[in-house]
Amino acid sequence: MGVEVKVQGLAEIERKLKQLPQRIGTNAMRRALRKGANVIRDAARANAKRIDDPGTSEQIGKNIVVQGGGRKRENQAGGPMVRVGVLGGARDMGAYGELKGKGSGNPGGDTWYWRLIEFGTSRFRAQPFMRPAMNEKAQAAFDVAAAEAVKQTDRELAKLR
């Protein structure tokens, strides 16, 4: 008299276990990093509000955003990444600010000049708002990201059940 045991659904569990490291890396960790980056973004927005001229329609603070690092960069870096920056701010503006007007569709308007304020010029003293936000809030952002990573990992593991 033999006992026969059939296990069904093993292939599905095996498939989920193989996906777990990728899922944790791409979903959970990206969400956790974004939460941490939001701390720095909020500080940078508060700093930019002090600099923005209320008499103009352009507001640098509204253009400060958190963006994903992009798949190609993430693959090169070996994991998920996020960036805090100013929309339209990484372009070379040329010798005479030729890009002026190209960022008018941004939420805060065309703030092509943000780098001139952040780093200063030969005629204008720097009034940094991004760098102090990073320096002041780096530890808080790390703490938020670490706590969120635990939550998001548990969330992903719950999906496997």
Residues 77-122 pLDDT 10s? 888 889 999 987 656 555 555 555 566 678 888 888 888 899 998 9
* Mean pLDDT, the chain, whole residue set: 83
Count of domains in the chain? 1
To the question of pTM greater than 0.85 for the whole model, the response is no
- Judge whether 8 lies within some domain: no
In eight-state DSSP terms, residue 88 is T
Tell me, yes or no, whether 59 lies in a domain: yes
Is 61 among the domain residues?
Answer: yes
* Residue pair 35/144 in contact by the 8 Å Cβ criterion: yes
Residue 153 is assigned to a structural domain of this protein: yes
113 lies in a domain? yes
Across the strands, what pairs with 93?
none
- Tell me the per-residue pLDDT of 45-84, one tens digit each, with 9 for 90 and over: 999 999 988 888 889 999 999 999 888 888 888 888 899 9
In a domain, 86, yes or no: yes
Of 4-13, 66-75, 146-155, the poorest mean pLDDT is in 4-13
- Domain range for 140 is 17-159
Q: Which two tokens stand for residue 13?
A: 């569990």
